[in-house]
Structure 1
Amino acid sequence: MAPEALQNVHLRRIWWALSTPSFLDLPDSAHYFHDDQHRALIAELLAKQDQEGAKVNAHFEAQVPQVMGRYFEQLILYVLELDPHYEVLAANVQIIEAKITRGELDLILYDKQKDQKRHWEVALKYYLQVGEDGNHHNFLGPSRRDFLGRKMEKLRKLQLPLSDHPQIKAAYGDLKSELFLKGELYYPWAKNPILPDQAQAEATPYYFLSLNQLKELYSESQGRFCILKKPDWIGSYFTKNSSECLSFSELEEELETEFQRIYRPQLIAKMMENPNSLKEEKRYFIIPEGWPNSKTANN
């Protein structure tokens, strides 16, 4: 199913989350679909939900405003509640000792097909390669506060082992801990990408470049662009509102203004015009001059 087949933005993001491979091929990766039949069933369920898009919107609008990572968890939880192959046993389960929270498990599920209880840690991450090899510490988040290496260490050493805590074992028994990791990796433009250790061969490589380099790719006459704000990073962007998009000169102006406001890469989409809509054709992070080495990391 093509993402644009769904009109509702939340459902499109759900389908992207389920159908897109993780950028890492890990032994403890969580794979949502059991088989092609399961995949087809979820496509059908989401298509039915799409017929009542207003109800889907109301569900997510009723939630307290959340950072993108928490919202992504809610997308996964939403489809799990619809899916007859899974039963959600608990979400955001805190481990509390002496009134101190020692950790939190994202999702605890019962996989009916496998007759197995599973613990999923859900993560959505975007990283840019800033080093010369595939070490995970050479992949940096746009805010410069988060390395892929640091995130993987936290997940492996702190988050996944939470299923072995006595409180969790007493409540849920033995759990298979897995990582539901999605997102995108970005590589320097015009260079051969140096893939991370444990790279997923099926993952799409993306690129980052400076505004000056972008001028080498496009000119004023070449299409329309959108600057993507969270949570529109999730999945391919699609809009019926052409006023959301910018000419190349407008894009330049907007990016220069944004870089003055905050020293952080901006995600843009090159849009392809279709009858009555615009669909993302390519996406890039555009980096400010000198990034990631200039200015303070708090900007």
Structure 2
Amino acid sequence: MGHTGTSSWQAPCPLMPKANHGNKAILSVGHDDEKSPMDQYLAIIARQPWLARVNFSQGTPMVLPVYDTPWLKQQLRSLRHQAVRDLAWCCLGQPLLQTLPDSPHTQLLSGLAPVSRLQTWLQVLDADPTPLLNHLALFKSTRLGVYYEALWHFYFTQQGDWELLGYNQQVNYRGQTLGAFDFLCRRQNTYWHIESAIKFYLGNSSGGDLSEWQHWIGPNNSDRLDIKLNHLQQHQLRLSANDEKNPARHWLQQHFTEAPFWHSGLLLQGYFFYPYQEAHTGQAAGAHPDHQGGYWMRWQDCEGFLSQSPAKRWVVIERTHWVSPAQGDELDSLMTSGQLAIWLSDWTQASHKPIMIAEVELFTHQAPLPVWQEQERYFVVPDNWPATHNT
């Protein structure tokens, strides 16, 4: 990343212990006539130290759960190249879901290799990222989903215990196009059909219970979790179903005669964004307890939100950098809360698109240079979201 020339470095705040994500609903401070709101807040923090966000905009503070993965961010902090960090995020991060109802034979994949081996591999790659960068350049697309596939394509071609047999392999059987396999792989003596997707969903609590998949919507209101999962379960993952009535199964038998059985796997990663300042009823059914997450808010709430923490530093995250947490020696376009409020005001005058922002902190102990790293990310959406399709 480029250099901003800023000298306003601040001491980093220590990372909080990992949250117990079993309960991600906003926790309201209990009423106690003998204690001030701040005393109540400090008492809760003493009992539950993972709680680290507080909102004072309504007079009485609300403690918000931290959607943070300190261990993963610590792994990323030593990596200097964006593409290598994105690859590390894929390899070391957890999936959005830990269970996929109605797909008992599909494994939600993570931890495909021992962490120690991945760490060594990533450090070597970070010292010379040329092989990864050259590989990514072969995928001539600006779509984030294609970039995500390209990262995993590199992984499957470089990790010795995996052999890539096919990528984006179209299935034509008896003159009919049945679909396409994202990845066909062999790992030792097992054969895998793996589908992949990276998704960013905002929980619309005004629509109902957030445990229901239909209330998780893409930022542009053009995608929904329930629709995506239904397509995965009913079409994409069924392509390799071990069913004699499945024509795609016959195609696999013809082209891979040595494979007696195909395992079905899903690489589904991304972020769930929870509504800021709104009481919500939970998380998406089957969500992984350590999924990546953040918050979303409407434009009309953003100025008040930023005014609560004038000393914080922020960056706007371009779509091509949505994968791993924002990071850099001196991040481009580093802004104070006041500067970001002005920037967002100008943005809303010129565009109706959602925008992603991130709070960053400086880690001065990181060798060889101090590192700014994202601590929380937010989507800022139009005031009428999700009523209209924002293009």
**Matches of 1:98 and 1:110, distance apart in 2:** 26
Aligned position for 2:172: 96
**8 Å contact from structure 1 (residues 30, 120) kept in 2:** no
**Which residue of 70, 78, 81 maps to 1:8?**
81
Per-residue CA deviations over 1:64-122 (Å, capped at 9, x if unaligned) read 1331001101101112222122111111100135766431110011112xx21011100
Larger Rg: 2
Aligned position for 2:107: 29
Q: Which amino acid aligns with 2:184?
A: I
Aligned position for 2:156: 80
Q: Report the TM-score when normalising by structure 2.
A: 0.69
Which has the higher relative contact order, 1 or 2, with Cα contacts under 8 A spaced 6 or more apart?
2
- Pairs aligned (count): 293
Structure 1 residues 193, 29: closer, same or farther in 2, change over 3 A?
Answer: farther
Aligned position for 2:226: 149
Secondary structure of the 1:231 match is helix
**Which residue of 199, 205, 208 maps to 1:125?**
199
1:297 and 2:381 equivalent? no
Q: For residue 182 of structure 1, report the CA deviation from its aligned partner.
A: 0.3
Structure 1 residues 101, 260: closer, same or farther in 2, change over 3 A?
Answer: farther
Structure 1 residues 92, 153: closer, same or farther in 2, change over 3 A?
Answer: same
Q: Which amino acid aligns with 1:273?
A: L
Per-residue CA deviations over 1:208-263 (Å, capped at 9, x if unaligned) read 11344344443373222111112211011102234422222332233233334442
Q: Percent identity?
A: 22
**Which residue of 229, 254, 259 maps to 1:170?**
254
**8 Å contact from structure 1 (residues 129, 187) kept in 2:** yes
**Matches of 2:306 and 2:142, distance apart in 1:** 35
Q: How does 1:1-299 map to 2 (within 5 A)?
A: 2-26=75-99, 27=104, 28-33=106-111, 38-97=114-173, 101-112=177-188, 115-130=189-204, 131-133=207-209, 134-164=211-241, 165=248, 166-172=250-256, 173=259, 174-190=261-277, 191-192=279-280, 194-219=282-307, 221-275=310-364, 276-293=370-387, 296-297=388-389, 299=391
Q: Higher mean Cα deviation, 148-157 or 230-239?
A: 230-239
Structure 1 residues 29, 229: closer, same or farther in 2, change over 3 A?
Answer: farther
Per-residue CA deviations over 1:128-165 (Å, capped at 9, x if unaligned) read 01132111111000111110000001000010111241
Q: For residue 46 of structure 1, report the CA deviation from its aligned partner.
A: 1.3
Secondary structure of the 2:375 match is strand
**8 Å contact from structure 1 (residues 144, 297) kept in 2:** yes
**Matches of 2:95 and 2:208, distance apart in 1:** 22
Q: Report the TM-score when normalising by structure 1.
A: 0.89
Pairwise CA RMSD: 2.2
